[in-house]
Amino acid sequence: MPLGIIGKKLGHTRVYDANGVMTPVTVVLVGPNRVLQVKSKDGKDGYNAVQLGFDDQKEQRLTKAVLGHVKKFNGVAVKRIQEFRDFSKEVKAGDLIGADLFAVGQFVDCIGTTKGRGFEGVVKRHGFRGGDMTHGAKGWHRRSGAIGQRLFPGTVMRGMKMPGHMGQVRRTSQNLEIVQVRTVDNVLLIRGNFPGSEGDYCVIREAKKISIGSARLKQITDMRQKAKDALAGGAAKKEEKKAAAKKK
What is the DSSP track for 214-239?
-HHHHHHHHHHHHHHHHHHHHHHHHH
- Cα–Cα distance measured from residue 79 to residue 33, given in angstroms and rounded to the nearest whole number: 11
Residue 177 lies in a domain: no
* 155-174 tens-digit pLDDT: 899 999 999 999 999 999 99
Measured CA angle at 3 (ends 93, 224), to 5 deg: 145
Residue 59 lies in a domain: no
Name the domain boundary from 166, 199, 225: 166
Task: Tell me what pLDDT residue 245 has.
Answer: 79
Return the higher-pLDDT residue of 228 and 208: 208
Number of domains forming the structure of the chain: 2
Residue 126 lies in a domain: yes
**pLDDT tops 90 at residue 225:** no
Nearest-CA neighbor of 163 among 200, 126, 132, 199? 126
* 119-148 tens-digit pLDDT: 999 999 999 998 888 888 888 899 998 888
Task: Tell me what pLDDT residue 18 has.
Answer: 82
Measured CA angle at 142 (ends 141, 143), to 5 deg: 100
What burial letters (b/e) apply to 41-77, b meaning 16+ CB within 10 Å? eeeeeeebbbbbbbbebeeeebeeeebebbeeeebeb
Return the higher-pLDDT residue of 245 and 177: 177
* 27-41 tens-digit pLDDT: 999 989 999 999 999
Percent of the chain with pLDDT over 70: 99
Q: Would you call 244 exposed, middle or buried from its count of C-beta atoms within 10 A (0-12, 13-18, 19+)?
A: exposed
Name the domain boundary from 166, 201, 235: 166
Average pLDDT, the chain: 90
Task: Tell me what pLDDT residue 140 has.
Answer: 86
Residue 41 lies in a domain: no
Backbone angles phi, psi at 233, to 5 degrees: -65, -40
Task: Tell me what pLDDT residue 167 has.
Answer: 95
- Cα–Cα distance measured from residue 233 to residue 227, given in angstroms and rounded to the nearest whole number: 10
**pLDDT tops 70 at residue 116:** yes
Instruction: Place 1 in a pLDDT band, splitting at 50, 70 and 90.
Output: low
Domain of 229 in residue numbering reads as 213-248
Task: Tell me what pLDDT residue 224 has.
Answer: 76
**pLDDT tops 80 at residue 215:** no
Residue 201 lies in a domain: no
Residue 205 lies in a domain: no
Return the higher-pLDDT residue of 233 and 32: 32
**pLDDT tops 80 at residue 85:** yes
Residue 26 lies in a domain: no
Q: Determine the average pLDDT of the residues in 47-67.
A: 94
Residue 132 lies in a domain: yes
Q: Would you call 112 exposed, middle or buried from its count of C-beta atoms within 10 A (0-12, 13-18, 19+)?
A: buried
Q: Determine the average pLDDT of the residues in 180-189.
A: 94
Q: Determine the average pLDDT of the residues in 189-196.
A: 94
**pLDDT tops 90 at residue 248:** no
Task: Tell me what pLDDT residue 238 has.
Answer: 78
